[in-house]
């Protein structure tokens, strides 16, 4: 189901970076007590990632919005960048401090999540190059290494 915030946020992504920065400077706030996916902050970040608006994502991060925002599955923007197959966003989020070892509600790390993406091994390589734990286990006892072995050896 579409979030009610999509209608509100859609015009934001049609403005240029300077206008978006001005909106943030003039008091457009995304923060409140919740950081779940239906919150406008999470929607803005997810939209910036999925549409590859790296400059808008940087503006949100510069204004201290959202590096720790989670969805209902306990996933942060790093997971969303992996899901969108945006290697540039993955690197940016890691540079800004998104937790490479954070586990979602299924105990999956971003690396484990990336291994499920199949042919997008560049994301797996990026996470490994950045120090992700290849032996971390999820609630089923699987690790990224065991998942990769299963994909390529079965």
pLDDT tens digit string along 66-117?
A: 677 888 888 889 999 999 999 999 999 999 989 999 999 999 999 999 998 8
Architecture of the domain made up of 1-99? Alpha Horseshoe (1.25)
Of the candidates 151, 154, 148, 150, the residue with the CA atom closest to the CA atom of residue 132? 148
**pLDDT higher than threshold 60 for residue 142:** yes
CATH superfamily of 100-154: Ankyrin repeat-containing domain (1.25.40.20)
Of the candidates 60, 49, 52, the residue with the CA atom closest to the CA atom of residue 24? 60
Mean pLDDT for 41-53 is 82
Compute the mean pLDDT over every residue in the chain, rounded to the nearest whole number: 78
Fold agreement between 1-99 and 100-154? yes
Q: Which two tokens stand for residue 51?
A: 């549409």
pLDDT at 102: 93
Spatial distance between the Cα atoms of 98 and 4, rounded to a whole number of angstroms: 26
Spatial distance between the Cα atoms of 107 and 90, rounded to a whole number of angstroms: 19
Highest mean pLDDT among 4-18, 34-48, 97-111: 97-111
Give the start-to-end residue ranges of the domains of the chain. Answer: 1-99, 100-154
């Amino acid at each position: 189901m579409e979030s009610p915030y999509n209608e509100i946020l859609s015009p934001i992504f049609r403005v240029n970076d300077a206008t978006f920065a001005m909106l943030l400077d003039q008091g457009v706030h995304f923060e409140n007590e919740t950081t779940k996916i239906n919150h406008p902050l999470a929607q803005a970040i997810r939209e910036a990632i999925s549409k590859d608006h790296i400059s808008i994502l940087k503006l949100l991060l510069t204004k201290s919005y959202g590096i720790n925002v989670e969805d209902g599955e306990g996933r942060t923007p790093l997971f969303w960048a992996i899901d969108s197959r945006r290697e540039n966003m993955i690197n940016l989020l890691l540079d800004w401090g998104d937790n490479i070892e954070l586990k979602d509600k299924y105990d999956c790390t971003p690396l484990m999540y990336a291994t499920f993406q199949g042919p997008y091994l560049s994301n797996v390589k990026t996470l490994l190059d950045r120090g992700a734990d290849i032996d971390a286990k999820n609630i089923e006892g699987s690790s990224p290494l065991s998942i990769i072995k299963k994909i390529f050896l079965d």
